[in-house]
Amino acid sequence: MTIRRLALVTDAWHPQINGVVHTLERLVRHLRGSGVEVCVISNEGHKTVGLPSYPEIRVAVDPWRAVAKLRAFNPDAVHIATEGPLGMWVNAWMRRRGRRFTTSFHTRFPEYLSARAPVPLWVGYAVERWFHAAAEHTLVGTHSLIRELQGHRVGRRLAYWPRGVDTDRFHPRHRTGEIFADLPRPIWLYVGRIAREKTLGDFLGLPLDGTKVVVGDGPERAALEERYPDAVWRGYVRGPALASHFASADCFVFPSRTETFGNVVLEAMASGTPVASVPAPGPIDLITPGVNGALNDDLHLACTEAIRCDRDRVLASAGEYTYQASHERFRRHLVWSQPALEVEVTSPSLASSQQ
């Protein structure tokens, strides 16, 4: 049966600015454009509180109110994207009633929790095992991360869901000399959240000729900006200006060791800009050394190798990661719930049907 009504439950949504929000926003736009009615169940309309170490990320303190919206929408399928209060509450509500749903793994919750609080990794992974245990499919961005999650016994049916990139928005034609005018070349660019888990200091401390440019914001910016005043700090950049930053840089540097995918890696490659990264899950699946960048635990060595890549080959490597392919793969992994959330499943054939 064709799924026409999808409830997407996510604690990560506007006004947050991060890779998860961008991924889900583009997904919703595509699904709606293809005839699927999507109800986004987010923090909007809820009482929220900022996370202690990341106040710009707010979470619901009344997640039970999401159930009323879910029931009123009466979806064909439910996808729970995040492990925040909304995701946890709807997850528990669905499984208590024997409802089928899917989840996705976007963020290294156990590692991020341990980095901000005295919580051992095993506790975080116990939470992940509970969260994904009842899902029909858990969608994961890379094959290397699938293998890692299997080692942690997270998820009973892991499904490959690579992200896509907007190759019209991010393209070498947006390259311009104006964005980095008067800055010494080469330009080493970072785009993303400025948070502890991004280990941005590993990049900013490198002895590289030229200029390091940082686009984005986050709780670590003030401390890092004070520590590395020679870097150029651009803050949040959006739209055509962001595309020009990607296309006009000489090398994109991605120092995070805790990534699950790395949308910005694809955006750099679609712009023709090679990527230097440590071999973390995500980049390790996207970067072909010598073709579109370099991978090395020695980030300085990765930078010196990546910048020599041919930009035409970098651009060509991004061609397989289209929005269309990514979004259609997501749609195929959805599972049918019930025609009415108030009715228990009585038909095995209906419970097993999926699109």
Q: Walk across the sheet containing 187-191 and list its strands.
A: 232-235, 211-215, 187-191, 251-254, 275-277, 293-295
Q: Which residues of 50-65 are buried (b: 16+ CB within 10 A; e: fewer)?
A: eeeebeebbbbeebee
Question: Any idea what the Cα angle at residue 294 is, between residues 305 and 250, rounded to 5°?
Answer: 65
Are 37 and 4 within 8 A, CB to CB?
yes
Three-state secondary-structure class, residue 330: helix
Q: How far apart are CA 324 and CA 331, in angstroms?
A: 11
Is pLDDT of 341 > 60? no
Same domain, 334 and 301: no
Is pLDDT of 274 > 70? yes
- Global pTM? 0.77
In whole numbers, what is the pLDDT of the chain averaged over residues? 90
Is pLDDT of 28 > 80? yes
Question: pLDDT (tens digit, 9 = 90+) per residue, 62-84?
Answer: 999 999 999 999 999 999 999 99
- Which residues partner with 51 through β-bridges? 54
Is pLDDT of 351 > 60? no
Is pLDDT of 323 > 70? yes
Task: Specify the number of domains making up the chain.
Answer: 2
Same domain, 88 and 153: yes
Same domain, 95 and 154: yes
Q: How far apart are CA 129 and CA 156, in angstroms?
A: 9
Same domain, 284 and 214: yes
Same domain, 111 and 159: yes
CATH of residue 47's domain is: 3.40.50.2000
Question: pLDDT (tens digit, 9 = 90+) per residue, 284-322?
Answer: 999 999 999 999 999 999 999 999 999 999 999 998 888
Q: How far apart are CA 199 and CA 196, in angstroms?
A: 6
Q: Which two tokens stand for residue 273?
A: 């800009």
Stretch 213-232: mean pLDDT: 96
Question: Any idea what the Cα angle at residue 321 is, between residues 16 and 333, rounded to 5°?
Answer: 75
What is the band of 339 on the pLDDT scale with cuts at 50, 70, 90? Answer: very low
User: What 8-state DSSP symbol labels residue 184?
Assistant: P
Same domain, 304 and 249: yes
Pick left, alpha or beta for residue 199 (phi over 0 → left; psi -120 to 50 → alpha; otherwise beta): left
Same domain, 289 and 331: no
Going by C-alpha positions, the residue among 236, 202, 205 that lies closest to residue 218 is 236
Same domain, 143 and 260: no
Are 138 and 155 within 8 A, CB to CB?
yes
Q: How far apart are CA 167 and CA 322, in angstroms?
A: 8
Question: pLDDT (tens digit, 9 = 90+) per residue, 90-137?
Answer: 999 999 999 999 999 988 778 777 777 778 889 989 999 999 999 999
> Any alpha helices (H) in the chain, and if so which ranges?
19-33, 66-73, 85-96, 109-116, 121-133, 143-151, 201-204, 221-227, 239-248, 263-270, 283-286, 299-306, 311-317, 323-333, 348-352
Q: Which residue has the tokens 């995918």?
A: 261
Q: Which residue has the tokens 């969608």?
A: 139
Give residue 190's pLDDT: 98
Beta strand 187-191 with 251-254: parallel, antiparallel or unpaired?
parallel
Same domain, 9 and 155: yes
Q: How far apart are CA 260 and CA 49, in angstroms?
A: 26
- The residue among 58 and 340 whose pLDDT is bigger is 58
Cα within 13 Å of Cα(81), Cβ side: 24
Identity at 197, one-letter amino acid code: E
Q: Which two tokens stand for residue 218?
A: 């986050």
Same domain, 95 and 176: no
Same domain, 275 and 338: no
Crossing angle (nearest 10°) for helices 109-116 and 121-133: 150
Q: Which two tokens stand for residue 216?
A: 């984005």
What is the domain extent for residue 194?
172-317
Same domain, 251 and 338: no
Listed as own residue / partner, the contacts of 234-240 with beta carbons closer than 8 Å and 24 or more positions apart are: 236/17, 237/191, 240/174
Q: How far apart are CA 31 and CA 328, in angstroms?
A: 9
Give residue 1's pLDDT: 61
